[in-house]
A and B are shown apart, each in its own frame.
Chain A
Amino acid sequence: KQEVTQIPAALSVPEGENLVLNCSFTDSAIYNLQWFRQDPGKGLTSLLLIQSSQREQTSGRLNASLDKSSGRSTLYIAASQPGDSATYLCAVTYSTGNQFYFGTGTSLTVIP
């Protein structure tokens, strides 16, 4: 059974701080890994997609890295803002166009 774990489960930081969210997966033979954002009462917003052959992806203040051999990914958020407050989910797929296995999520609160 593929398991995806995210640490910490919750994180509270003051505005402006840089932070790192962690994701680990038990089966390293992934096809790709994706980071999502989920706002309370809302759906999923895709943030970054990393193919298994890639080491990192960047979008604005977000940087996601992938270490497939160790089964880990990190999401780095620079200069955090209150608007970044949300739950962040990582998910992996093991074959092209197939189901996602989601992590448990990290609930982020950025304090103004």
Chain B
Amino acid sequence: GAVVSQHPSRVICKSGTSVKIECRSLDFQATTMFWYRQFPKQSLMLMATSNEGSKATYEQGVEKDKFLINHASLTLSTLTVTSAHPEDSSFYICSARDLQGTGNTIYFGEGSWLTVV
């Protein structure tokens, strides 16, 4: 079946640096991908909707200049956390929409744990 791969699964970075997380659809084309984050003991919240070839749509309260999203191809979306701070430490997970097959199925990646020290 369709698989969405996220990389890295875990990353530790120093405060003030930037870190990139990749989300790939392995056997289908994804015109739309979604990025979520989950703070400890909280629910997953949508950060932004990534559309291939166009700018991402950010949810209210999410800084677009801090969380850069690039969806340059039909199989890859990247989330870059710029100038990371400890409060950005979280679980980030992507999902991708497969328009083929049975149509409009969404698959989730494995998630990425970011720790900023």
Q: Which residues of A contact B (CB under 8 A)?
A: 4, 36, 41-44, 46, 89, 91, 93, 96-105
How many Å from the CB of B61 to the closest CB on chain A? Answer: 13
| Interface residues on chain B, size class | 20 to 34
Determine if B106 and A100 form an interchain contact, defined as CB atoms under 8 angstroms apart. yes
Of B42, B105, B111, which one neighbours A43 at CB under 8 angstroms?
Answer: B111
Determine if A97 and B106 form an interchain contact, defined as CB atoms under 8 angstroms apart. yes
Determine if A100 and B95 form an interchain contact, defined as CB atoms under 8 angstroms apart. yes
Determine if B104 and A96 form an interchain contact, defined as CB atoms under 8 angstroms apart. yes
Q: Is the interface of A mostly helix, strand, loop or mixed?
A: loop
Asked, given contacts A96-B104, A103-B43, whether A43 binds B110 with beta carbons under 8 Å apart, the answer is yes
Q: Residue of A at shortest CB range from B45?
A: A102
Q: Residue of A at shortest CB range from B31?
A: A97
Q: Which residues of A contact B46 (CB under 8 A)?
A: 99-101
Of B42, B44, B99, B111, which one neighbours A97 at CB under 8 angstroms?
Answer: B99
Q: Which residues of A contact B97 (CB under 8 A)?
A: 97-98
Q: Residue of A at shortest CB range from B48?
A: A99
| B108 located at the interface, meaning its Cβ lies under 8 Å from any Cβ of chain A in the complex | yes
| Bitwise interface map of B from 76 to 110 toward A, beta carbon under 8 Å scored 1, else 0 | 00000000000000000101010100011110111
List the 7 closest pairs (A to B, CB-CB), nearest first: A97-B104, A43-B111, A43-B110, A102-B44, A96-B104, A97-B97, A102-B43
Report Cα–Cα, A107/B113, bound state, in Å: 19
Determine if A89 and B44 form an interchain contact, defined as CB atoms under 8 angstroms apart. yes
Give 8 A-B pairs besides A96-B104, A97-B99, A103-B43 with Cβ atoms closer than 8 angstroms. Answer: A43-B6, A43-B9, A93-B106, A97-B32, A97-B105, A99-B46, A104-B42, A105-B43
How many Å from the CB of A101 to the closest CB on chain B? Answer: 8
| B67 located at the interface, meaning its Cβ lies under 8 Å from any Cβ of chain A in the complex | no
Report Cα–Cα, A101/B109, bound state, in Å: 16
Determine if B49 and A99 form an interchain contact, defined as CB atoms under 8 angstroms apart. yes
Chain B residues 35-49 with CB under 8 Å of chain A are: 36, 42-46, 49
Q: Residue of A at shortest CB range from B10?
A: A41
Asked, given contacts A97-B32, A100-B106, whether A43 binds B99 with beta carbons under 8 Å apart, the answer is no
